[in-house]
Amino acid sequence: MITGQGITKTFRQRGGVLGAREVRALRGVDFAVGRGGAVSFIGESGCGKTTLGRIIAGLEGHDSGEITVDGVAMSSLRPRARRPYFRRIQLIHQDPYSALNPTRTVYQALLAPLALRARQTGRPASWVDGRAGELLDLVGLDPDYVLPRYPHQLSGGMRQRVVIARALTVDPEMLVADEAVSMIDVSLRLGILALLRDLRERLGVSVLFITHDVATARYIGDDGELYVIYRGQVVERGPVETIISAPVHPYTQALLSAIPVLHGLERPGAQPVAPTGTLEEDKPDAGCLFARRCPFATARCAEEVPVLGRTGDIPQEHACFHPEARSVVAVPAGRA
Ligand SMILES: Nc1ncnc2c1ncn2[C@@H]1O[C@H](COP(=O)(O)OP(=O)(O)OP(=O)(O)O)[C@@H](O)[C@H]1O
């Protein structure tokens, strides 16, 4: 189980005509991902998703809050002692080409981490070759074809499968997939998403999926949880199917309205919820962060901060004073 409590992160950006400024990338994010579980963080560009993924994978520090891995608080350990824990959390980047060294064959890319793994687990060096083949099989690649090849000789989908196989060399507990299919040809995306779902079932590895596209989040697993994040804050959280079929936060509704196709959810008469303004415009931090763009905001929203939690008989958690399941759905394909 990997958890985060109250994770905050502020970047200080220097330069530019406006001089230095602070960007509050994360404002107290809580999450929990159990063994074999699937959690998706969705939100528009700049909402803090990538920052969160990097913090969870141990690649970026945070200002306050706590990450625990199997009950061990990372803040209680020295940086060196944290490494074996963070090694269990492997990040899959959106660009598989830049993640692989172009001068190394797939065999060479897998050799180093597998040799290290063999030493760590007391296995003979001969184990490495067999394991490389097993891992490629597991990600749906033919080892004989792929092992001697360089990244440029493979398709984008195959390269991403190699990256996933390499992440599996350390027997991870969780894969953090940051827009893992966004740079892959549309025809190959579903295959990668199905692979991640399959790995959850076969290996019990959990998947934390970071995306701006809720339709892809669904494929990771219907049993998954969705976290909708806006300006560094989780505004709605719950089972993926509940949130997609009955979102209650106006920001989630706006996100879903922006999706051109969501098969099976097109309802006649549904009206898209259109947020007003842009992300940059709503600078003030008082009250609800979404208030200035929200079509349903009242005076209360500008003054009081809504806290993530449940109200009434709404099943999912939300941070909104006026939650209401609205019929938002996407414009069917071709009519966007
Ligand atoms: N290293 C950094 N230095 C300064 N500011 C940063 C840094 N990394 C991220 N930011 C800022 O933090 C905010 C959140 O960025 P982040 O990349 O986490 O968002 P995101 O939701 O992943 O967006 P995208 O989908 O475009 O990658 C943005 O305003 C970004 O400009």
Atom of ligand 1 nearest to the CA of 9: 12
Residue 239 in 3-state DSSP?
A: strand
Separation of CA 46 and ligand 1 centre (Å): 5
What pLDDT is stored for residue 255 in this prediction? 87
Cβ atoms of 111 and 132 within 8 Å: the answer is: yes
Mutate to test the pocket of ligand 1, among 18, 42, 49, 214 (most ligand atoms within 8 A of CB): 49
| pLDDT value of position 330 | 53
Digit-by-digit pLDDT tens for the chain (336 residues) are 999 999 999 998 876 666 778 899 999 999 999 999 999 999 988 899 999 999 999 999 999 999 999 999 999 999 999 999 999 999 998 887 888 999 999 999 999 999 999 999 999 999 999 999 999 999 999 999 999 999 999 998 999 999 999 999 999 999 999 987 777 787 788 888 889 999 999 999 999 999 888 777 777 767 899 999 999 999 999 999 899 889 999 999 988 886 554 444 344 344 556 665 555 444 556 899 999 889 899 999 999 999 999 999 999 999 999 999 987 655 444 443
Distance, CA of 333 to CA of 219 (rounded, Å): 18
24 in Cβ contact with 10 (< 8 Å): yes
pLDDT at 273: 60
Cα distances (angstroms) measured from residue 114 to each of 22, 107, 109, 111, 117:
42, 10, 9, 5, 5
Distance of alpha carbon 336 from alpha carbon 236, whole angstroms: 25
CA 291 – ligand 1 centroid, Å:
22
Pocket perturbation via mutation, ligand 1, pick of 7, 11, 229 by most ligand atoms within 8 A of CB: 11
Alpha-carbon span 332 to 32, nearest angstrom: 34
Span from the CA of 80 to the centroid of ligand 1 (angstroms) = 26
Q: Which residues pair with 13 in a beta bridge?
A: 21
335 neighbors 272 (Cβ within 8 angstroms):
no
Q: What is the pLDDT of residue 307?
A: 95
Which helix (H) or strand (E) segment is 177 a member of?
strand 174-178
Q: What is the pLDDT, as a whole number, of residue 223?
A: 84
Give CA separation, 295 vs 22, 29, 31, 127, 271, in Å: 28, 25, 28, 60, 13
Please answer whether residues 224 and 37 qualify as being in contact, where contact means their C-beta atoms are separated by less than 8 angstroms: yes
Tell me the C-alpha distance between 229 and 317, whole Å.
Answer: 12
For the chain, domain boundaries: 99-170
Buried b vs exposed e over 259-269: b needs ≥16 C-beta within 10 Å? beebeebeeee
Question: Which residue ranges have their beta carbon within 6 Å of ligand 1?
Answer: 11, 13, 23, 25, 43, 45-51, 212
CA-to-CA dists, residue 158 to 136, 171, 182, 246, angstroms = 10, 20, 14, 36
ipTM: 0.95
pLDDT on residue 329: 57
- Taking a C-beta distance cutoff of 8 angstroms, is the pair 128, 137 a contact? no
CA of residue 252 to ligand 1 center, whole Å: 20
Rg of the chain in Å (alpha carbons): 21
Tell me whether strands 225-230 and 64-69 are parallel, antiparallel or unpaired: unpaired
